[in-house]
Amino acid sequence: MPSTTSFGTVPIASQPHLRFVEPKKRAPLGPEQRRERQEARETKQQRIDAAVSKWFAETMALADKLALEFDLKPKYFHELFFQGGARMVIHQEKINPYNAFKSEKAAECRERGEYKDATQLHQDYFEEYRDMTDEDKDAMVERWVTHRNHNVTLRRATPRAKIQDVSNIVRNMKLLMCGLSTRVGVEGFFCVVRNSADFHMAPQWFFSSRELENYMPIATRKKWVTAEVGTKVEAFAVAGCNVLSAYL
């Protein structure tokens, strides 16, 4: 495509100046050429749709297979496959009044010895919810929030619970990093170490790509051994992030 600007000089000046040139117009396509291009685009799109459909069917089949193998619901693997951890950073600040209404009705049913799922609650009480005023819904949400804040169950920090907590957090961090790399094109790494001598855990490293880890000796211009760096960072954290204490 020809450029819309060009550089030239005039005899009395040695400095270049801009000279605008009208772009050349392309010759219009004939009916036959337009039809050929349209057919080529449609053929390409059909091939893309077929490839995506095949991938989607295979992915759904794999999710069903893993759900049976690990005794989980297929939706669990759908979220891992398609969201890449993004679901863990989506936080809904505003409370849905209808969800609070169903929660309140479910609690009333349990007190009477009745157990109803979300579908049954919707069928039995949706008309009652529709008749509520906005003031009633706001008061109901406030009651639900108060009940939630006063019924918080804290898990005992046993050694096993700590190990499970660390494992879950590290797994979620890996999912978030992989999701960012896939969706956005972000690379990175992290190192998780303990900061207390009462808890025993090896440093947890993760690099989004092997090339990034191999680049670290070049970036630091020093000998880089990931395990040794993790041990030093751990000693620094256990010493209270005090440089002098870490080496005494």
**Residue reference for tokens 């505003």:** 94
Whether residue 121 contacts residue 106, with contact meaning beta carbons closer than 8 Å, is answered with yes
Whether the predicted pLDDT of 8 surpasses 80: no
Which of 69-78, 192-201, 214-223, 239-248 comes out lowest in average pLDDT?
239-248
Q: How far apart are the first and last CA of the chain?
A: 68
- Residue 204 pLDDT grade (very low, low, confident, very high; cuts 50, 70, 90): very high
Q: pLDDT digit string (tens) for 47-61?
A: 998 998 898 889 889
CA–CA separation, 99 vs 105, rounded Å?
Answer: 10
Residue-wise pLDDT for 92-110, tens only, equals 567 888 888 888 888 888 8
Look up the pTM and report it.
0.50
- pLDDT score, position 10: 45
**In the prediction, which pLDDT does 188 show?**
92
Q: How confident is the model at residue 73 (pLDDT cuts 50, 70, 90)?
A: confident
Q: Is the pLDDT of residue 152 over 50?
A: yes
Nearest to 166 by CA among 198, 208, 213, 203: 203
Backbone phi, psi, residue 204, to 5°: -105, 115
Question: Rounded to whole angstroms, how far apart are CA atoms 95 and 148?
Answer: 12
Percent of the chain with pLDDT over 90: 13
Distance of CA 49 to the CA centre of its chain: 25
pLDDT at 205: 94
What does the radius of gyration of the chain's CA atoms come to, in whole angstroms?
31
Average pLDDT, the chain: 81
Main-chain dihedrals φ then ψ at residue 91, nearest 5 degrees: -120, 120
Residue 137 has pLDDT above 80, yes or no: yes
Other Cβ atoms closer than 10 A to 132? 15
| Gap between the Cα atoms of 228 and 25, Å rounded | 64
pLDDT of residue 84: 64
